[in-house]
Amino acid sequence: MSKVYTVAVLVGSLRKDSINRKVALALAELAPANLKLNIVEIGDLPLYNEDIDAATPPAAYSTFRKHVSSSDAVLFVTPEYNRSVPAPLKNAIDVGSRPYGQSAWSGKPGAIISVSPGAIGGFGANHHLRQSLVFLDVPCMQQPEAYLGGAGNVFDEAGKVSEKTKPFLQAFIDAYGKWVEKQSA
């Protein structure tokens, strides 16, 4: 039996009915047998501040770092805000990267899917996030790139992924499963 890799999934949108969260849940359902996707919540993380991270970090920081550190890989599902990632996602990245020299991200195979109601599918956020991942030593899957535009029409009335979009998500998560396995060998 092949290894099952745990994947920390970070959803950049905090909205209760977030399309990004729905995409993350759909990817978890479509994931190949070698991946187990777990959403790691980021909404309760205090803004990163080195002063409060000194001797006794906030419990939310420690819990978050533990979830990311104990995962084999990371997957980012993000909308685009002002041609970048939303502030809660950037904050989570900063929290996980500290204390300096003890990054929870280092060496974990990563991938990004940007999700937007707009036509270009969060292209700016996707590439801006890639810049941070280079510094964090997260080898990021290059292909297939995943920009999901027109995301307001991706789910049917029952909340299921449309038959038109499902093959795109399936191809992405299958490629990511192979990427994680290759990087972990």
For each of the domains in the chain, give its residue range(s) and CATH number, in order of start. 5-184 (3.40.50.360)
pLDDT of residue 135: 95
Can you tell me which residue has the tokens 């307001």? 152
Q: Specify burial of residue 2 (Cβ count, 10 A radius: 0-12, 13-18, 19+).
A: exposed
User: What percentage of the chain reaches a pLDDT higher than 90?
Assistant: 87
pTM: 0.96
Q: What is the pLDDT along the chain (185 residues), one digit of tens a residue?
A: 589 999 999 999 999 889 999 999 999 999 999 999 999 999 999 999 999 998 899 999 999 999 999 999 999 999 999 999 999 999 999 999 999 999 999 999 999 999 998 888 899 999 999 999 999 999 999 999 999 999 889 998 888 899 999 999 999 999 999 999 999 98
Question: What stretches of 127-180 adopt beta strand conformation (E)?
Answer: 147-148
**Going edge to edge, which strands form the sheet with 73-78?**
35-39, 5-11, 73-78, 110-115, 147-148
Continuous H helices in 43-140: 59-69, 87-96, 123-135
